Amino acid sequence: MNELAPRPAWSIPFVARRLGVGLAIGSAIAAAAALLLWITGAYRLDAIELRAPPLIVLGLPLFAWLEELIFRRLLLDWMARWWGRTTGLLISSLIFGGVHAMNPGGLSLAAVVGVSLAGLWLGQLYLQHRRVVACTAAHLAWNAVLGPVF
C-alpha cells in the first residue's frame, strides 16, 4: 500500500528550483492572505516595517525546516505509508493546526482551521516534490511575509 513516489536525488539545480518554487509560492500566498484580510476589514496595514529582532530573523529558517521535518518528512510520510496519502495528509494537517493553537492568538477556530489549511498546502507541496526543500522554503516565506513584513 505504499503510494509514495521515490525521492529524487539531490543536486544544486534540484535544490535551487525547489527553493525558488517554495519561496515564490509561500510569499504569494501569504501576501494574498494579507490582502484578502485587508479587503474584508479584518486587517489594517499602517506601514510595512522590515525591522525584526535578528534572533527571530535567524531563527525563521531553522524553525521552518524543523517543522517541515517533523510534520511532513516524519509524520506525513509515516501516516501516508500506513493509511494512504489522503488520510495521512488530512490527519497530519489537523495535528499541525492543533499544535499551532499554542501560538499567540492561535487559540481560535479560525486560526486552527487556517493553519490546518496551510498544513494541507505544505503537505501537498511535500508530496509533490518528495523533499522538504520546497515546503520549507514556502513555510519560511509565509512566516517571513506575515511576520516581519505584515
Residue 105 phi/psi, 5-degree rounding, is 75, 5
Residue 6, pLDDT score:
75
Residue by residue, DSSP assigns 10-61 as P-HHHHHHHHHHHHHHHHHHHHHHHHHHHHTTS-----------HHHHHHHH
Model pLDDT for residues 3-49, shown as the tens digit of each residue = 677 777 778 888 888 889 899 999 988 888 888 878 888 777 666 66
Handedness of CA 88, 119, 127, 71 (dihedral sign): negative
For 73-117, what is each residue's pLDDT tens digit?
A: 999 999 999 999 999 999 999 999 999 999 887 788 888 998 999
